[in-house]
Structure 1
Amino acid sequence: MKLSDYSAFPTTLPIIVEDELFLYPFMISPIFLSDEENILAAQKALEDNSLVLICPSKEGKEGQRDFESIYPAGVVGSIMRKVTLPDGRIKILFQGLARGKIVKKVAEHPLRALTDLIESKPFNEIKVEALLEVLREKVRNLAAVSGHFPQDLVKTIEENHEPNRIADLVSSSIRLKKSDAYELFIESDIEKRIMLLIDFITEDIEQSKLQREIKSKVHSRLEKINKEYFLKEQLKQIQKELGVDTQREEEIEEYKEKLEKIKPYLTQEAYKEIKKQIDRFSRMHPDSAEAGVIQTYLDWVLEVPFGKYSKKKLNINDVKRQLDKDHYGLKKPKDRIVEYFAVKELMELRGIKKEKGSGAILCFAGPPGIGKTSLANSIANALKRPLVRIALGGLEDVSELRGHRRTYIGAMPGRIVQGLIEAKEMDPVMVLDEIDKVGRSFKGDPTSVLLEILDPEQNTHFRDYYLNFSIDLSNVIFIATANDISYIPAPLRDRMEFIFLSSYTPSEKFEIAKRYLIPQEIKKHGLKRSEISISTKALEEIIEKYTREAGVRNLRRRIADIVRKAARELLENSHIHKISVTLKNLNKYLEKPIFEIELAEEEPQIGVVNGLAWTAVGGDVLKIEAIKIKGKGSLQLTGSLGEVMKESARIAYSVVKVLIDKRDIKIEQKVIPKSQKETEDGVTVEQSEVYRRYDIHLHIPVGATPKDGPSAGITMATAIASILSEKKVRNDVAMTGELTLTGKVLPIGGLKEKLIAAYKAKVKKVLIPKKNYERDLEDIPEEVLNELETVPVTRIEEVLKEAIIWDK
């Protein structure tokens, strides 16, 4: 085919964009078309029986099909054949005929443009022939040193005398960037074109010589080293010539120096593992995936602070001073913490080496907001050690604690090792927060890992899967926190010593707010102490009616609410210099009271008894209610009761029945007139028939709140006895205790919280099991004991005697 077979130039041609190949006029090439624009352009050329212009896309613009993303010149040629492939692509056989350029844009879809040929400028034949001889010599030299230049092409160039054809042949055979190839392609001055080619070939010859030199240097060592070493040395030589070989070597040397520095503090196993990984890393190609994994491992493991420990000597006076400074009350917990560190200090002073398995793991247990985590903060401050907090709430994956094996993508050390890296010391204070909320799943049981971490027998050799060697955790001070220890598995509980933190009394909350919360919130919100004041009555009102908790977290929030509104008021009213919050204007800074403490009933009632309960946020007073309905002696229970409380209710009912049968509970007989004796109401109610003729309905408000626990037995028995005997229960009496079938009163837990709740409800007398009276009253705040008459009981008869009004 010839150009003369088609329309004269300039003419409008469809444009095909080529992303990969750089075509030349002498080529006959198969081209695969996959995008819609190119396929439409090819179809247009075949339909119109016209030529087509194939333009290369610009660097970085591959895949784009617009005039801005292509070079404005290319090869004009014809489509000899078109084949549709099964995968939807089109294969065309293209014959290049001439160099062409875009004169004017015609259409964007598909690309069409007014195209003209690139005409060569007139040239001096003698000068061009001389340049061609130089070019041929350079080509021969390149073919001699490079295996990429085909020998048969040298012969073709030697025999050809058409300058532009020779330039195209050479350009297509040497390695050129797309921008350089295009610069050569569009040059219309053949002399300049050949000069550019000579420069590019000269550069290519130098690169090929350099490669051969590098290869020869490496080949001389092949007798002593294997193929892997050969590739490594070849890479070294290339990097050396490029001047970028030092960085990797410096990294490897840095890793080796760090390893030797910590070697005295490593076990043989740990040293061997780290050294092995450094050696593997030094032999690997830096761009391989495994090299990246090993480098990440080395970065982690060499950050572990082996051999670094706190320099401050242990002093229990510092611990005691810091605890007293940061916390009000909590006498027994603070004493136990000081005792714990007294043992450690004594062993240090006397040079006694800690035996394997010695020491205890402390666990602060108590309601939310009571100060468990802040106690750990105080310990860390007193010891001048870093504090690491690990939240265990909802943790299900064992690998979170023990680390992931390095075979997994995204593997990293466990939280324990990460905590040591964060602390930069091997003996930080590590708080395991909410250890009672650790979960189980198909990923394993994290409590099994915690057993190893917290057991002094095992934590000297704790193995992290990512590190792949054991580390010593015996110098770490572990402190766990929990709300409810019953959720902690028994083997884990066995490894910890519990320090119980119970609810604060209103007076303790008042002092905490006054000494800590108010000053802290004032400072946090940018105010001065002289700009805001909260009166004593207002603070007491906030504690009593705006918060209901064992700790002081919500109390802090309410104080923060007041301080924020005060800050706004000061800014909006420049004439105001101080905000005074009193009982009268408290509702201006806080919304309506959220909690109203349910006080004791004003008058004694039948079947209503004040029971004392323990909850996760402190104590509470529950009014247990009972009624009787004509029936056959069944017992109905409501109020979302758990199985333990249901059993307690059945036991209480049975005990009351026995007391009625023994006449310890007297039932007044009702004599009905003869005229009514035939009716059901007219039957005389005998002593032992009362519980057979009535159904008992026992209810514990609030019904939506689930309740369970072994401490409501005597309360339910009193309610049942009251309703069956129709005797009133004292409204100023509350009680707690479990009951046996023989009528004995068993001890209970949570006495402090329960008595504080009774104190808040303004109860006068509290009935508690005798064993609790003997052993637990010393833990009760004096202000509570001074206001309550605490009566010890051992049997249900004593409870009924104190609680029920029998004389009326």
Structure 2
Amino acid sequence: MENKMPLQMPALALRGLTIFPNMLLHFDVGRDASIKALDESMTSGQPIFLVAQRDLAIENPKEKDLYSVGTVCNVRQILRLPADNVRVMVEGISRGRLIHLLQNTPYMAAEVEEIEPEQIVRCSPRTEALMRRTYELFETYVELAPKMTPDILLSILSSEDPGYIADYIAQNLPMRTGDKQLILEELRPIRRLERLCQTLRRELEILELEQDMQNKVRDQLTRSQRDYVLREQLKVLQQELGEDPQGNDSEIAEYRQKIARTKLPSEVAEKLMKEVGRLEKQPFGSAEAAVLRNYLDTVLELPWGKKTRERVDIEAARKVLDADHYGLEKVKERILEFLAVKQLSPNLKGQILCLAGPPGVGKTSIASSVARALHRNMARISLGGIHDEAEIRGHRKTYVGAMPGRIIAAVKQAGSCNPLLLLDEIDKLGNDQRGDPSSALLEVLDAEQNATFRDHFLEIPFDLSDVLFITTANDLANIPRPLLDRMEVIELGSYTDEEKLQIAKQHLLPKELKRHGLTRSQLRITDDALREVIRGYTRESGVRVLERMLGTLCRKAVMRLVSSSVKSVRITGDTLESFLGVRRYHPEQVPRTAQIGVVNGLAWTSVGGEILEVEVGVVPGSGKVELTGNLGSVMKESAQAALSYIRSCATQLGIKEDFYQKKDIHVHFPEGAVPKDGPSAGIAITTAMVSALTGVPVRRELAMTGEVTLRGRVLAIGGLKEKTMAAYRNGIKTVILPLENQKDLEEIDPTVRSALHFVLVEQVDAVLAEALEFDGSSRTEQAVPCLPEQSAVQSPKLPSFKQ
């Protein structure tokens, strides 16, 4: 290729276009300088130099903004268009190299060196293979490209010039301006065709990807059109059946509006919108649609973000608690402490309290008063007899009839995110093959974990950290230790007779009068009558039986008011039996004289404390030991330990050493139908055995509790408050306790503490010295125990705790 002498000619800067030699191209021109350059070329008959600019955004390009290689063209036609635009047709003559840009105004003129066309090269096998490959690629491109016509193939199939083929394909291929410029600047025909092949391969890959995406979009549109047609047909069928075709659409829109209005966490809102989308695609009347509707309704009915405003006035809360309950100072003080902390730390999370005590002492009613004092909504969950873990965590919604657990259902019932949930009878949870509900409660009753509590039905986290949990239990021993560790235990003991009197006057009697339609003037019950009801007709730790007895009195009074002409009824202690019948219980059960081999033990039960007698009989025999009274294994072991201790100390106690070979000992606990067990009857059994073996009677008005070891040491016991209350109710004057329980005496009711004399012991020797009567008139002809001297007993000087 040879270059000619430089020529001066008008120039036109192209934006987004490239023209190749021997090609025709028409395009629109809008810039004034470009139009004047075309007019100058058309008027003077000179060729025009068309060169692409590097940056399309430049309005008045300079020499540095233009490529160095362009095309020398002849202007074939100019057509004037509206709005001062011009459409021009040009024909490429040859390639040209920009030497220098002579001017920019009024039109662009340049000094151009025209590049002679290359000579047709001889067709070698490599060139022929390259041309065939180019034909195949371009043919494939024409088949895939939507705007390409098959006529374009005829122009290149009839040519054997690789340079012309490269120029022709590049001119008709919608490539980027930079790629076309590279092909234009390549002066060697074979290299130009190779570069075109590379560009064709890339364009084919891009076109195939576009085609694939278009096919996918077309398939989706086809599927959507099909669904639309089917839905329209379904609407027609629903109209024929008399159903509302707009019902489903309005339901879906209503669900979306509810989700938008409710203050839901982003995770929950996203989950619900996905479920609404699934519901929208369900056919009419499908079982899955019913499940989805139930799920959406349940989740949207939960109180997301709704909280009641708490009362933080301690004095007002104190008045509410005092008005609802008499006594219970510990519980009231704990609730007021919670309110006091709430004033200084409003972000304090919900607490977990456990009210433990006998039935009827007011555990459930306390929760209602606490909710009213705090201005919190309340919901009660009865846990007694629950065996299925799904009752707590809920059922998976894949099951028929699935529903959320009781925790979520209670929050929904309360209508706020910070309610008071009462978990009643938590000590009566069960477990079986369906899971362990107590283990499921571990997450619920943990302030560190329940912020993201997940119910199996909801499948989304729900915050329980603002919930105040109050649980109730009768026996803490039946609560699993990990669960008990998460709760703050507040023990409620038995009521004294005076407390029961005040509760009856202030709460129970007004309630029963209102229930039976009576006024205070129509029925009057004296304090003596109330005390007689408490002592002679009830034996309980709480006040449930007392409430029923007051209800009986109200019914009897109503009967007299209705059936006779009396205007009012007055009940006193003397007339009480005419209403309630013969007295049921006689609290003064203490025997009039001291008895041999009979000891009053103290037992704890779920309904309070009880007096548990221990009777021991000794008869000639071969050394058998009989234990009766429906005893548990622990009490049987206590009897064996007591016998072993007596055998080791037989000489000091004045008992023949071979008594275990010649005497049969029978230990009996009355009321054999009632199961008995526990580690606190050791010293009572020991004392009864020693009394029976020696013939020394046991003191009247005395009861004892404590476990014994083989060395005669007295171990601590539990349930002291209930046991001492039982002793007080049954007329006991002296109670023997283990020395280790001295710290628990402060928890005993002041009335009980002032009425009883407490003897604290550390060894069985001190128990025997206090319990057995050594009056000569009471001794039998049997051997009298020779107790060690006071210095040998090592019994410490003990306080009497008598007020």
Q: What TM bracket, shorter-length normalisation?
A: 0.5 to 0.7
The whole-number CA distance in structure 1 between the counterparts of 2:638 and 2:527 is: 44
Task: Please tell me the root mean square deviation across aligned C-alpha atoms, in Å.
Answer: 2.1
List aligned pairs for 1:369-380, cutoff 5 A.
Answer: 369-380=360-371
Aligned to 1:426: 417
Mark the structure with the bigger radius of gyration: 2
Is 1:704 the equivalent of 2:673?
Answer: yes
Aligned to 1:446: 437
Aligned to 1:768: 737
Equivalent residues of 2:704, 2:737 under 8 A apart: yes
Aligned to 1:640: 630
One-letter amino acid matched to 1:505 = T
Aligned to 1:246: 246
CA shift digits 1:420-454 (9 cap, x unpaired): 11111111100000001111122111111111110
Match of 2:644 among 640, 654, 678: 654
Is 1:742 the equivalent of 2:711?
Answer: yes
The whole-number CA distance in structure 1 between the counterparts of 2:339 and 2:396 is: 37
The whole-number CA distance in structure 1 between the counterparts of 2:359 and 2:223 is: 70
| CA gap 1:222/1:272 in 2 versus in 1, 3 angstroms | closer
Equivalent position SS for 2:666:
strand
The whole-number CA distance in structure 2 between the counterparts of 1:243 and 1:549 is: 64
CA shift digits 1:21-76 (9 cap, x unpaired): xxxxxxxxxxxxxxxxxxxxxxxxxxxxxxxxxxxxxxxxxxxxxxxxxxxxxxxx
Equivalent residues of 1:600, 1:610 under 8 A apart: no
Equivalent residues of 1:318, 1:383 under 8 A apart: no
The whole-number CA distance in structure 2 between the counterparts of 1:534 and 1:582 is: 6
Aligned to 1:507: 498
| CA gap 1:651/1:287 in 2 versus in 1, 3 angstroms | same
Aligned to 2:396: 405
| CA gap 1:805/1:223 in 2 versus in 1, 3 angstroms | closer
The whole-number CA distance in structure 1 between the counterparts of 2:733 and 2:238 is: 89
Aligned to 1:778: 746
Match of 1:626 among 616, 630, 635: 616
Measure how far apart 1:243 and its partner are: 8.7
Aligned to 1:201: none
The whole-number CA distance in structure 2 between the counterparts of 1:741 and 1:341 is: 51
One-letter amino acid matched to 2:257 = E
Instruction: Decide which moves more: 503-512 or 285-294.
Output: 285-294
Aligned to 1:569: 560
The whole-number CA distance in structure 2 between the counterparts of 1:646 and 1:274 is: 62
Aligned to 1:42: none
Aligned to 2:537: 546
The whole-number CA distance in structure 2 between the counterparts of 1:643 and 1:342 is: 48
CA shift digits 1:187-219 (9 cap, x unpaired): xxxxxxxxxxxxxxxxxxxxxxxxxxxxxxxxx
The whole-number CA distance in structure 1 between the counterparts of 2:662 and 2:775 is: 25
Is 1:692 the equivalent of 2:661?
Answer: yes
Aligned identity (percent) is 47
The whole-number CA distance in structure 2 between the counterparts of 1:586 and 1:313 is: 45
The whole-number CA distance in structure 1 between the counterparts of 2:510 and 2:423 is: 29
Equivalent residues of 1:745, 1:769 under 8 A apart: yes
Is 1:298 the equivalent of 2:289?
Answer: no
Equivalent residues of 2:447, 2:465 under 8 A apart: yes
Is 1:518 the equivalent of 2:518?
Answer: no
Equivalent residues of 2:418, 2:467 under 8 A apart: yes
Is 1:227 the equivalent of 2:226?
Answer: yes
Is 1:476 the equivalent of 2:467?
Answer: yes
The whole-number CA distance in structure 2 between the counterparts of 1:772 and 1:380 is: 36
Equivalent position SS for 1:606:
coil
Aligned to 1:666: 654
One-letter amino acid matched to 1:752 = K
Equivalent residues of 1:304, 1:421 under 8 A apart: yes
Instruction: Decide which moves more: 338-347 or 253-262.
Output: 338-347
Instruction: Decide which moves more: 396-405 or 224-233.
Output: 224-233
Equivalent residues of 1:330, 1:501 under 8 A apart: yes
Match of 1:719 among 662, 665, 688: 688
| CA gap 1:652/1:243 in 2 versus in 1, 3 angstroms | closer
Equivalent residues of 1:361, 1:454 under 8 A apart: yes
CA shift digits 1:69-121 (9 cap, x unpaired): xxxxxxxxxxxxxxxxxxxxxxxxxxxxxxxxxxxxxxxxxxxxxxxxxxxxx
Equivalent position SS for 1:529:
coil
Equivalent residues of 2:350, 2:468 under 8 A apart: no
TM-score, with length taken from structure 2: 0.67
Equivalent residues of 2:736, 2:761 under 8 A apart: yes
Equivalent residues of 1:370, 1:551 under 8 A apart: yes
Is 1:755 the equivalent of 2:724?
Answer: yes
TM-score, with length taken from structure 1: 0.67
The whole-number CA distance in structure 2 between the counterparts of 1:412 and 1:380 is: 27
Equivalent residues of 1:385, 1:428 under 8 A apart: yes
The whole-number CA distance in structure 1 between the counterparts of 2:383 and 2:477 is: 16
The whole-number CA distance in structure 2 between the counterparts of 1:337 and 1:243 is: 57
| CA gap 1:222/1:778 in 2 versus in 1, 3 angstroms | closer
The whole-number CA distance in structure 2 between the counterparts of 1:485 and 1:605 is: 36
One-letter amino acid matched to 2:345 = M
Equivalent residues of 2:351, 2:468 under 8 A apart: no
The whole-number CA distance in structure 1 between the counterparts of 2:422 and 2:258 is: 29
Equivalent residues of 1:609, 1:731 under 8 A apart: no
| CA gap 1:545/1:464 in 2 versus in 1, 3 angstroms | same
One-letter amino acid matched to 1:230 = V
Any gaps of 5 or more consecutive residues in structure 2? 1-219, 777-803
The whole-number CA distance in structure 1 between the counterparts of 2:443 and 2:228 is: 44
Equivalent residues of 2:451, 2:462 under 8 A apart: yes
List aligned pairs for 1:125-524, cutoff 5 A.
Answer: 223=222, 225=224, 227-236=226-235, 244-263=244-263, 265-266=264-265, 268-348=266-346, 353-354=347-348, 360-524=351-515
The whole-number CA distance in structure 2 between the counterparts of 1:223 and 1:647 is: 84
Aligned to 1:600: 590
The whole-number CA distance in structure 2 between the counterparts of 1:290 and 1:543 is: 61
The whole-number CA distance in structure 2 between the counterparts of 1:742 and 1:734 is: 22
Equivalent position SS for 2:524:
strand
Aligned to 2:157: none
Aligned to 2:187: none
Measure how far apart 1:784 and its partner are: 1.6
List aligned pairs for 1:33-182, cutoff 5 A.
Answer: none
Any gaps of 5 or more consecutive residues in structure 1? 1-220, 668-686
Equivalent residues of 1:232, 1:283 under 8 A apart: no
The whole-number CA distance in structure 2 between the counterparts of 1:222 and 1:362 is: 60
Measure how far apart 1:690 and its partner are: 2.8
How many residues were matched structurally? 558
CA shift digits 1:509-567 (9 cap, x unpaired): 11110111001110111111111011222111111121111100111011011112212
| CA gap 1:715/1:224 in 2 versus in 1, 3 angstroms | closer
The whole-number CA distance in structure 2 between the counterparts of 1:234 and 1:312 is: 56
Match of 1:584 among 574, 587, 590: 574
The whole-number CA distance in structure 1 between the counterparts of 2:747 and 2:283 is: 68
Equivalent residues of 1:365, 1:481 under 8 A apart: yes
Aligned to 1:162: none
The whole-number CA distance in structure 2 between the counterparts of 1:757 and 1:313 is: 39
| CA gap 1:634/1:295 in 2 versus in 1, 3 angstroms | same
Measure how far apart 1:240 and its partner are: 7.4
CA shift digits 1:659-692 (9 cap, x unpaired): 213x1x124xxxxxxxxxxxxxxxxxxx322333
Equivalent position SS for 2:224:
coil
The whole-number CA distance in structure 2 between the counterparts of 1:384 and 1:631 is: 71
Equivalent position SS for 1:792:
strand
